[in-house]
Structure 1
Amino acid sequence: MKNRRKFIQMSTVLGAGAFLPLQFCTPPKKEESTSNELILGAAKGILDDFGIQLYSVKENMAEDAVATIRALASYGYTQIEGFDGGKGIFWGMKNTEFKTLMDDLGLDFIASHANTFENLELQAEQASAIGMKYLICPWVGPQKSMDDFKRLAEDFNKQGEICQKHGLRFAYHNHGYTFVELEGQIPQDYLMENTDPALVDYEMDTYWVYTAGKDPIDYIKRYPGRFTLGHVKDKSGELNFEEPNGSTLIGKGIMDFPQILRAGMDNGMKYFIVEQERFDGTNPMEAAELNAGFMKSLVF
């Protein structure tokens, strides 16, 4: 499958070059050659596979989902994590049609953020039918009391049971609010310690852990095997630390991703998903391409 992905991605890049005018087909300069090697994946990094959360390019997805996904595949992404942009997690297609698109591009549709509190049986059945690995609850919002988080832990266990019955996993994606002390407890800690590891996994949004003043590496090591997915999302050092919308190009911010991802790989994190929500000087697709280049060349 990996060889097929590389063939498809290289064919996409080289195929685009076949339509260039002759004046653009002269031998590249040294610096251009280096850039082209990164695009073609010649600079070998640690990660063979990495993905992107489609919310990073949500406007492009709303305009033309198929064209956007084709472009992402050409950048070197091998995995896709979806979300419900108003047309469902399959963007108006049948689940099997979406699966065919992924297969044609050498992509794995590994997971999607979804409303797991409604129609979960149907969603899990459709996701499992095309080989997805996860359905992920992306947001519950700040809660008024720890009793609310206790009820959520029970809900997560029940949702995990439904997903397990259909052959996939349930996970919860954190924001910053679960790391803010409430009634003398850290809600994230309670959720992790009171959900069944056989039923519930977690997707660490590294940016939100860091923005909440916590150490992502500490949490990864404290709960080995529980954070099976991770959002690779950097934080700008040019904004106030508490700024909620402060993401930037990966590698241009203040987070130490070689160390964070090393800890993840050593403690059960299987999926590494690029996400960026703020764009300063680039547009979302340009940022997606640059972030893919960072991921491909990452060595630690």
Structure 2
Amino acid sequence: MTVSFNFQSSMNKRRKFIQMTAVLGTGAFLPFQFCTTKKEESSQTEALLGAAKGILDDFGIQLYSVKENMAEDPVKTIQAMASYGYTQLEGFDGGKGIFWGMANTEFKSLVDDLGLAFIASHANTFENLEEQAEKAGAIGMKYLICPWVGPQKSMDDFKRLAEAFNKQGEICKEHGLRFAYHNHGYTFDELEGQIPQDFLMENTDPDLVDFEMDTYWVYTAGKDPIDYIKKYPNRFTLGHVKDKSADLPFDEPNGSTLIGKGLMDFPAILRAGMDNGMKYFIVEQERFDDTDPMEAARRNAAYMKNLVF
């Protein structure tokens, strides 16, 4: 959200939440005669809720969700994301750098003209970080994110990663942005009697290192995203909104689906996130059933625009 929750944005969200609470409260005390049939009651409730739809003023998309389209025509693809209602972009390096072959200022002009904010990008933070951070900070990006380190052989390896993340956080901070690590499922698998994700969170400096929770991978690893959000308040400042299909085996790694069509309770997850320091809510989908990636991006945006929690 250009979302470092500014005061006005925060107040807008609170007003919507209060409005929703008021609507539900009013419905609870409607005289019996005004609810003569269940159909009429449902219609009245829908009408009341219609005015209160949509808590999130801003939400984004991880462009990896439409990676083939980005490879073919990044400008046209980004224009489409704006038309769907996304207000933020999270990028990735598709082989031409995080600015897709453009200068950082050129890329910023593109997204600015569309009313979008390029808040963050996944990047190889182990190479050329100084240069990447300088260019990202110069155009007002908020984050560079390490998206993957892979399973490690020992906790000593995770200790070295924690130290590396602190150093990468220092470099990002020098250029006016933040560093974050994006989890997969492997950091939630016990190793030498410890949970690596917990170790990383407890052995990195909160002043230098944030985390992007991929809710899908937390859930697929058999953990509760809400429990983790509450266990480490203000550390998960970004969240991937990615649903898990109910039609596939639970342990299927490539099992994402349209948001709201799967197993995950996003109203509850995002409420917990918002209450515990999560500032950016980023749609991601990597598997597609009855639709293509662009149509999925459009439908996911519609879900996010109407989300009430």
TM-score (structure 1 length as normaliser):
0.86
Give identity over the alignment, percent.
87
Displacement of 1:44 after TM fit? 3.7
Deviations 1:35-93 (A, max 9, x none): xxxxxx99840000000000000000000000000000000000000000001000010
Residue of 196, 209, 223 corresponding to 1:214: 223
- AA partner of residue 252 (structure 2): E
**3-state SS of 1:163 partner:** helix
- AA partner of residue 274 (structure 1): V
Name the counterpart of 1:148.
157
Distance 2:175 2:296 in 1: 36
Distance 1:191 1:92 in 2: 33
Deviating beyond 4 angstroms after TM superposition, the runs of 4 or more aligned structure 1 residues are none
Distance 2:98 2:171 in 1: 18
Name the counterpart of 2:36.
none
Name the counterpart of 1:19.
none
Name the counterpart of 2:240.
231
Name the counterpart of 1:275.
284
Unpaired runs of 5+ residues, structure 2, are 3-49
Distance 1:80 1:225 in 2: 21
Aligned length: 262
Deviations 1:104-158 (A, max 9, x none): 0000000000000000000000000000000000000000000000000000000
Distance 1:139 1:42, change over 3 A: farther
- AA partner of residue 308 (structure 2): V
**3-state SS of 1:170 partner:** strand
The equivalences for 1:1-300 within 5 A come to 44-300=53-309
- AA partner of residue 266 (structure 1): D
Distance 2:210 2:120 in 1: 12
TM-score (structure 2 length as normaliser):
0.83
Distance 1:283 1:43 in 2: 30
Distance 1:64 1:122 in 2: 25
Distance 1:42 1:227 in 2: 31
- AA partner of residue 171 (structure 1): A
Q: Is the 8 A contact 1:43 1:296 kept in 2?
A: no
Deviations 1:229-272 (A, max 9, x none): 00000000000000000000000000000000000000000000
Deviations 1:183-241 (A, max 9, x none): 00000000000000000000000000000000000000000000000000000000000
**3-state SS of 2:273 partner:** helix
Unpaired runs of 5+ residues, structure 1, are 3-40
